[in-house]
Amino acid sequence: MNSLYSSLIPLHKFITPLMSKEKKMNKFYMSFIIIFFVTSSAFAKTGTSNAKKLELINIVNQQQILSQRISKAYLYVKKTNVSGKADIQLKSALKNFYKTYSKINTSTKSTKIRTIMSFIKKSSNEFNNLAKQPHSTKNTEEILKLSEMVLAKSKKVATLLKKDLNKNIYEAMEKSNQQQVLAEKIATYCKALQLNKNDISLKKKIRVTIEAFAINHKKLMQNKDNSKTISEKLKEVDKLWSAAYPIYQDKKFTSSIVFDSTTQISEKMKEVSRLYMAEKKQ
């Protein structure tokens, strides 16, 4: 009996360290699992945060486009052969402009952004008041000035939102949004020039805006990361741009040609922006 008990002692000494090692291994695995889930959760939150920021940036970009569309539609709504279309576009742009303000203002806690939003809200009221005013040189100048001020302020909001994002996430999307703004600007400046044919500064603005659109268009077309769908959509834009570009440059255009072509280009680029954003969120 004693000999049997004595033979069990070494076995007991052998099992105890094994059990201790097993506990250590279990602790190691548990620590690994916890770290894995915490890290995964952090990445998931970052991804969600980026996706939300991209959505908000897209709303801000739409606000920029609408600020230009309001001034464009205002100029075309009076005494042109596209007055009906322009009136519909003006009312829609004014309504959607306020909607973008509300969405941005309620989606951020940033003091800087909310300060800018108070200016945007005030501008929305001013746009509505100016839109009701009869056409005159003074009113035209005021609505053009206001649209440029809103554009500049809205760009600051986009910059504040983009500072934490990787450049590659938003670069192509931003360019496609810029194209919408530029298309609206081309139409606005063309109409303003028709009303004041000797304005040298307007002639320069048209030239600079057309050149900016052409440069952006080339870069987007040559973007190697474009999906097949985006490339096909950009080819549609290219077809429209190729037809309209000589007309804009020649400055021998009609209101309907400029209004319709820039609206079509802007809407196509809006689709491109949505595609870029959808791909970046995946």
CA-based max dimension of the chain: 120
Q: Is residue 216 part of a domain?
A: yes
Q: Is the pLDDT of residue 26 over 80?
A: no
Say how far apart CA 55 and CA 145 lie, in whole Å: 28
Q: Is residue 208 part of a domain?
A: yes
Average pLDDT over residues 270-281: 84
Residues 173 and 282 in one domain: yes
Residues 75 and 149 in one domain: yes
Average pLDDT over residues 201-224: 94
Is residue 256 within 8 Å of residue 82, measured between CB atoms?
A: yes
Give me the percent of the chain exceeding a pLDDT of 70. Answer: 78
Element (H, E) at 262: helix 255-281
Say how far apart CA 111 and CA 280 lie, in whole Å: 28
Residues 243 and 275 in one domain: yes
Residues 270 and 240 in one domain: yes
Residues 126 and 187 in one domain: no
Q: Is the pLDDT of residue 241 over 50?
A: yes
Q: Is the pLDDT of residue 46 over 50?
A: no
Residues 181 and 271 in one domain: yes
- Domain of 219 in residue numbering reads as 165-282
pLDDT at residue 156, rounded to an integer: 95
Average pLDDT over residues 7-31: 52
Q: Is the pLDDT of residue 21 over 80?
A: no
Lowest-confidence pick of 40-49, 125-134, 183-192, 194-203:
40-49
Say how far apart CA 15 and CA 62 lie, in whole Å: 70
How many structural domains does the chain have? 2
pLDDT at residue 164, rounded to an integer: 66
DSSP label at residue 199: -
Average pLDDT over residues 12-35: 53
pTM: 0.77
pLDDT at residue 4, rounded to an integer: 46
Average pLDDT over residues 159-182: 82
Residues 89 and 147 in one domain: yes
pLDDT at residue 248, rounded to an integer: 86
Residues 276 and 214 in one domain: yes
Average of per-residue pLDDT values in the chain: 83
Q: Give residue 42's pLDDT band: very low, low, confident or very high (50, 70, 90).
A: very low
What does the block give as tokens for 2? 């004693």
